């Protein structure tokens, strides 16, 4: 099952949520791996079509691998410097965007 809904509209585009579900049977021995594969392919297509990595929910661990390519090296460095300054013990959102020791 696949469905979607438009939740917000803006001058520059809209926020579209996609939902999908599949029946887990013995032929799908790794449902989490199947989900991750579907998410990866969908995210690659969204980014290739000019969509964004996330909306107001943030990027998080699931989509963090695409973060550097979406914000550039300078964006990653700015995030790391800000994180180091404001959260030097790496307590908040630990590993959500950049999985590194700060």
Domain ranges (residues) in the chain: 1-52, 58-102
Structure token pair of residue 2: 């696949």
User: Domain 58-102 in CATH: superfamily?
Assistant: Vanillyl-alcohol Oxidase; Chain A, domain 4 (1.10.45.10)
CA atoms within 13 A on the CB side of 35: 10
DSSP state of 74: H
Q: Predicted confidence band at 22 (pLDDT cuts at 50, 70, 90)? A: confident
- Cα 10–chain centre separation: 20
Q: What is the pLDDT of residues 52-96, one digit of tens each?
A: 888 878 888 888 999 999 999 999 999 999 999 999 998 888 878
Buried-state track 62-85, b at ≥16 Cβ within 10 A, e below 16? ebeebbeeebeeeebeebeeebee
* Residues involved in catalysis: 17
DSSP state of 64: G
Residue 102 has pLDDT above 60, yes or no: no
In the predicted model, what is the mean pLDDT of the chain?
87
pLDDT at 99: 64
Structure token pair of residue 62: 């699931």
| Mean pLDDT confidence for 98-102 | 56
| Mean pLDDT confidence for 4-15 | 91
Q: Determine the Cα–Cα distance for residues 35 and 58; give it in Å rounded to an integer.
A: 19
């Amino acid at each position: 099952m696949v469905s979607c809904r438009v939740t917000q509209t803006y001058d520059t585009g809209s926020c579209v949520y996609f939902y999908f579900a599949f029946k887990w049977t013995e032929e799908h021995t790794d449902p989490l791996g199947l989900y991750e594969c579907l998410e990866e392919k969908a995210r690659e297509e969204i980014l290739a079509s000019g969509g964004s990595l996330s909306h107001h929910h943030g990027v998080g661990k699931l989509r963090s691998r695409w973060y550097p390519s979406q914000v550039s090296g300078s964006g990653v460095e700015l995030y790391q410097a800000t994180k180091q300054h404001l959260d030097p013990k790496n307590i908040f959102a630990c590993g959500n965007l950049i999985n590194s020791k700060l």
